[in-house]
A and B are shown apart, each in its own frame.
Chain A
């Protein structure tokens, strides 16, 4: 009886949330965006390219670079949490690996920017394999705890390995990236375009990843691990792969971050950073790509625009998490899509041919 009542209320609530979605015309909006894609996408890219010239404000530009970097981080975590369903609370560890290794390789080994970032990503990927191994044995909350421990241990390594990482003092004066002898800074908009370049790269990568065989395998694992195994998905392989991809993307974000700020120390990458990335993923909508950008814009810009709230804004940040979980756990942009299922061109042609033959 009680069970029955629960079910009724939950469907009523679902209906209510649908009603809200209808009210905001989210589905219409989605359809509109989908139909006008050919116009909107170039317009968006044009806007992003022209953005620094429209703005011409150092401080706001720095904030927008930060938003871009956090979007990259969120996209990285989304591969693991959104698509595969493994919740990580220690991704700051991977960000730290990327930031430190890129900075150290540039400063001590004299490597240029791109190779140093690539090596940092490879290192993070290798450590991702190691961290991926426990995910084969433990699940759910326990895995989150292991990743949390990983983040803390990373911090300890950074603090104690003084000859390389500089201990608690960190690394100062990290050089700005250089391309063809030109230094990319916030002033000459170079860093902005660099971040934008990587953001687009990662976005395109994620876009095709989800729609690939790998992406389907990952989403299958999220839906039901046992069923995926029965369908012939090598669950172990794909779990580790998801961890590695996610680690590498986060390391990329981390190396950009260290170049932007020009200074890293172990406390730059604490638990708060991990929860920040996770909050972006959750606020935007786990398993969606559009949500990551909106989540990053809201959560990174929020502390900047709400300076008048003083310390209360950190409280509000917790309140957002609690309220989101309570009223909109799927995230701001996490509604169920009602677009027709996207078919490949091949399938469409086949269908057209068959229907012609039938006529």
Chain B
């Protein structure tokens, strides 16, 4: 029973981790909590659904949705956030802008696709694998594998490529990076693209897992993923992974032992405890709290 719940929690946590990566990437560079990220995640899942409905096939459909969502991320940055940066607005202005954008995206999804829950095709098919005594569904295993693979790719991009070097430079000091010839605005847009892509993959995986998709799915998932990002140390990729897994496991534990009405609150309790006791999170650097 406990092991089963841990496995469920890990699969769920992987989804959170992939969303948390988006928060971490953007926060690392802009010191901005992107409240529209939950809506971007829902957008990605809905678009995957739309493309699959247009007979793209499952994988090409998801890839198309990834590209579209990535472009949406860039568009948000260019249309709403870059002008604010140029004006040197206070951080709260950007924060409120992202809340507004989240509102726009979610409500446009509701208008064009309807607010009802629709069924999402299972991506990896049905079936269980017995590991020891415990049956684990193929979907859970594949979710885990795909997520780890994607995390690996993201880490490779950030730590091994030239554009990743530029991203890390912008994270440390945008002005100095600009002087070294880094196109900071391009890097920020690229970061939003990456965040959108990983959110879409998370959206497709989680929707495939629950086989359900709806426009408001992003709100709660986004907040929980944010809790995961803070727990792991916002701005840190391994932190997002570990934080996501911990939030996922504690959520499925809370649902089993405390009752299902508590499952949504556990992430917030973790969030508040972390912010009070160790604001930099598990893997975060000191001094990053300076917002």
Given contacts A149-B268, A322-B97, contact A271 B275 (CB under 8 A): no
Contact of B271 among A2, A149, A278, A311 (CB under 8 A): A149
Residue of A nearest to B90 (CB): A329
Q: Is B276 on the interface with A (CB-CB < 8 A)?
A: yes
Given contacts A141-B291, A278-B96, contact A160 B262 (CB under 8 A): yes
**Chain-A contact segment, one of B9-17, B78-86, B123-131, B240-248:** B78-86
Given contacts A141-B91, A317-B103, contact A326 B84 (CB under 8 A): yes
Q: In chain A, residues 299-326, which have Cβ atoms closer than 8 Å to a Cβ of chain B? A: 311-312, 314-315, 317-322, 325-326
A318 to B219, CA, bound (A): 15
Asked if B107 and A6 make an inter-chain contact with CB atoms under 8 angstroms apart, the answer reads no
Q: In chain A, residues 80-105, which have Cβ atoms closer than 8 Å to a Cβ of chain B? A: 87
Contact of B33 among A141, A311, A326 (CB under 8 A): A141
Q: B104, B230, B259, B262 — which one has the most chain A CB atoms within 10 A of its CB?
A: B104
Asked if A134 and B268 make an inter-chain contact with CB atoms under 8 angstroms apart, the answer reads no
Asked if B265 and A325 make an inter-chain contact with CB atoms under 8 angstroms apart, the answer reads no
Given contacts A145-B230, A156-B264, A311-B107, contact A134 B275 (CB under 8 A): yes
Min CB–CB distance A149 → chain B (angstroms) = 4
Asked if B279 and A87 make an inter-chain contact with CB atoms under 8 angstroms apart, the answer reads no
Asked if B101 and A318 make an inter-chain contact with CB atoms under 8 angstroms apart, the answer reads yes
A152 to B262, CA, bound (A): 11
Contact of B289 among A9, A138, A318, A325 (CB under 8 A): A138
A318 to B80, CA, bound (A): 12
Min CB–CB distance B279 → chain A (angstroms) = 6
A329 contacts across to B, CB distance below 8 A: 89-90, 93
Q: Is B111 on the interface with A (CB-CB < 8 A)?
A: yes
Q: How many A-B residue pairs have CB under 8 A?
A: 122
Q: Is A185 on the interface with B (CB-CB < 8 A)?
A: no
- Residue-wise, chain A 312-351 has the 8 Å CB interface mask toward B (1 for contact) of 1011011111100110010000000000000000000000
Asked if B96 and A311 make an inter-chain contact with CB atoms under 8 angstroms apart, the answer reads no
Q: Is A139 on the interface with B (CB-CB < 8 A)?
A: yes
A141 to B289, CA, bound (A): 9
Residue of B nearest to A140 (CB): B291
Asked if A6 and B86 make an inter-chain contact with CB atoms under 8 angstroms apart, the answer reads yes
Q: Is B157 on the interface with A (CB-CB < 8 A)?
A: no
Contact of B104 among A137, A271, A319 (CB under 8 A): A319
Residue of B nearest to A14 (CB): B87
Q: Is A62 on the interface with B (CB-CB < 8 A)?
A: no
- Residue-wise, chain A 137-176 has the 8 Å CB interface mask toward B (1 for contact) of 1111110111011101100100110000000000000000
- Residue-wise, chain B 266-277 has the 8 Å CB interface mask toward A (1 for contact) of 001101100110
Q: Is B55 on the interface with A (CB-CB < 8 A)?
A: no
A321 contacts across to B, CB distance below 8 A: 96-97, 99-100, 103
- Residue-wise, chain B 247-291 has the 8 Å CB interface mask toward A (1 for contact) of 000000000000101101100110110011001000000000101
Q: Is A79 on the interface with B (CB-CB < 8 A)?
A: no
A150 contacts across to B, CB distance below 8 A: 272
A87 contacts across to B, CB distance below 8 A: 92, 95
B104 contacts across to A, CB distance below 8 A: 315, 318-319, 322
Q: Is A297 on the interface with B (CB-CB < 8 A)?
A: no
Q: Is B62 on the interface with A (CB-CB < 8 A)?
A: no
Asked if A145 and B275 make an inter-chain contact with CB atoms under 8 angstroms apart, the answer reads yes
Min CB–CB distance B248 → chain A (angstroms) = 18
Asked if B261 and A160 make an inter-chain contact with CB atoms under 8 angstroms apart, the answer reads yes
A325 contacts across to B, CB distance below 8 A: 80, 84, 89, 93-94, 96-97, 100
B84 contacts across to A, CB distance below 8 A: 325-326
Min CB–CB distance B110 → chain A (angstroms) = 6
B87 contacts across to A, CB distance below 8 A: 10, 13
Contact of B272 among A134, A144, A159, A315 (CB under 8 A): A134
Given contacts A141-B91, A160-B262, contact A152 B102 (CB under 8 A): no
Residue of A nearest to B31 (CB): A141
Residue of A nearest to B226 (CB): A145
Asked if A149 and B272 make an inter-chain contact with CB atoms under 8 angstroms apart, the answer reads yes
- Residue-wise, chain A 279-292 has the 8 Å CB interface mask toward B (1 for contact) of 10010000000000
Q: A153, A160, A318 — which one has the most chain B CB atoms within 10 A of its CB?
A: A318
B279 contacts across to A, CB distance below 8 A: 137-138, 142
Q: In chain B, residues 24-65, which have Cβ atoms closer than 8 Å to a Cβ of chain A? A: 31-33
B108 contacts across to A, CB distance below 8 A: 315
B33 contacts across to A, CB distance below 8 A: 141, 144-145
Min CB–CB distance A283 → chain B (angstroms) = 10
A279 to B93, CA, bound (A): 11
Given contacts A311-B111, A322-B97, contact A152 B89 (CB under 8 A): no
- What 10 A-B pairs come out closest when comparing CB atoms? A321-B100, A318-B103, A140-B291, A156-B265, A318-B104, A149-B268, A322-B100, A314-B107, A318-B100, A315-B107
Q: List 27 A-B contacts (CB under 8 A).
A: A134-B275, A137-B279, A142-B279, A145-B271, A149-B268, A149-B272, A150-B272, A153-B269, A156-B261, A156-B262, A156-B264, A160-B261, A275-B99, A311-B107, A314-B103, A314-B110, A315-B107, A318-B107, A319-B100, A320-B100, A321-B96, A321-B100, A321-B103, A322-B80, A322-B100, A326-B80, A329-B89
Task: List residues of chain A with CB under 8 Å of any chain B CB.
Answer: 2, 6, 9-10, 13, 87, 134, 137-142, 144-146, 148-150, 152-153, 156, 159-160, 271, 275, 278-279, 282, 311-312, 314-315, 317-322, 325-326, 329
Task: List residues of chain B with CB under 8 Å of any chain A CB.
Answer: 31-33, 80, 83-84, 86-97, 99-104, 107-108, 110-111, 178, 219, 223, 226-227, 230, 259, 261-262, 264-265, 268-269, 271-272, 275-276, 279, 289, 291
